[in-house]
Amino acid sequence: MITCSAPGKVYLFGEHAVVYGESAICCAVELRTKVSVEKSDENEIIIESILGRTGLDHDTHPYVSYVIEKMRRFADIKGVRIIIESELPVGSGLGSSAAVTVASIQALNHLYECGLSLEGIAKTAHEIEKMVQGNASPTDTYVSTMGGVVMIPQRKKLDLINCPIVVGNTHKFSSTKELVGNVAKLRSDFPSVIEPILYNIGQMSILAEKLVSEGDYKTIGKLMNINQGLLDAIGVGSAELSSLVYAARGSGAISAKITGAGGGGCMVALAGENNAEDIARAIENAGGEAIITNNTKEGVRLESLHG
C-alpha cells in the first residue's frame, strides 16, 4: 500500500470572487485526507470511502473516478484499490474535494511512477474540479498541493498565519457545484451589481497581502468581516452560518466569516492570543461543531510506501 495525504484549506478572502479571476488568499490547515492505493490482481477498480465502496462511479466518487481516468494518460491502470480516510468533513467548505483529488493523484503518481511534478498535480486536480463542478478556480487544489498561505491567481506564497484558526461546522451539507452555479446565475441576472461586489472582495485580498507579511491581524480581521457581508450579499450565507459567525465574534474572535462555497458547511474565525477555546465554546453553544486548528506549510505528502 502507498499512502499520501493532502490538507484542507480555509479562505481568509476571496471565495467565489476567485472563480471570476479576482484575488483570493487561502491557507492550508492541519486537517488532512489520506489516500492509500495498491494494485489489485483482478483488474478491478475498488474505491472505499465514508461515502461507500464502489468501482469507477461518477455519482458516488466523481472526483476519484476522474482521477483514475486522467491518470490513465500516464499509466496503464487496470486493477487498483483506493482507500480514503479523512479528517475533513465532506461538503463543508474546507476543501475536502480538493484534498481527496490531490492525495489520490499523488498516491497513483507514486504507485505507477508517473513522474508528475507538484505543478502537474495541481493542474490535473484543478482540471478535475472543473469537470465535476462545471467551474472552479485553481485555489483549493493549488493550496492542497502546495500547502502554506497562497494568493491566487498570482500563485504567490505568503507568510504563514501566526494565530490559531477556529473552524465552526454547521453540519449542513453544501455542494460547491450548486453554490458556484447560484452565484453565476445572480451575476448573469445583475452584472452591474454583482461584478463590483466580486471586484471588491478581490481588492481586499490585495490589501491583505501586505497585512499578512506585517502580521497585522487586527486590520486583516476588519477586512475579513467586510468580506463576510459581501458573501451574504451574493447569496451564499445561511442562518446557521451567521449564527456561528456572530457567536465567534461575540466571544472575542479577531474575525469570523464563511469559508468555501457557503450555503452550509463551515465558517472560520481567527483567534487572538488565548481565546481559541472561548471561541470554540461559543460556536458549540450556538449549535456548531468547533475545530481548533492551525495553518500548515505542508501540502500533499507521501505518508508511507507500504503497510
Ligand X SMILES: Nc1ncnc2c1ncn2[C@@H]1O[C@H](COP(=O)(O)OP(=O)(O)OP(=O)(O)O)[C@@H](O)[C@H]1O
The catalytic residues are 140
Q: How far is the CB of 281 from ligand MEV (least distance, A)?
A: 27
**Helices (runs of H) and strands (runs of E) counted in the chain:** 9, 12
**H or E element in which residue 33 lies:** strand 24-39
Please report whether residue 93 would count as binding ligand X according to CB under 6 A. yes
For Mg ion, the closer of residues 89 and 221 by Cβ is 89
Report the relative pairing of strands 80-86 and 45-49 from DSSP bridges: parallel
Instruction: Report whether 95 belongs to an annotated binding site.
Output: yes
How far CA 17 is from CA of 7, 183, 201, 260, in Å, comes to 22, 10, 6, 11
Q: Which listed range, 16-24, 84-92, 101-109, 237-245, lies at the site for ligand MEV (CB under 6 A)?
A: 16-24
By CB under 6 A, tell whether 96 contacts ligand X.
Answer: yes
97 is in an annotated binding site: yes
Q: Is the dihedral of CA 104, 151, 263, 199 positive or negative?
A: negative
Is residue 175 close enough to count as binding ligand X by CB under 6 A? yes
Residues 21-60 that bind ligand X (CB under 6 A): 33, 49-51
Respond yes or no on whether the N-terminal peptide bond of residue 138 is cis (omega within 30° of 0): no
Tell me whether residue 96 is annotated as binding: yes
Contact with Mg ion (CB under 5 A): which of 106, 109, 144, 176? 176
Residue 94 is a binding residue for ligand X (CB under 6 A): yes
* Chosen residue from 261, 286, 291, 300 binding ligand MEV by CB under 6 A: 261
Q: Which of 3, 139 has the CB closer to ligand MEV?
A: 139
- Closest to 127 in 3D by CA, of 101, 146, 157, 152: 101
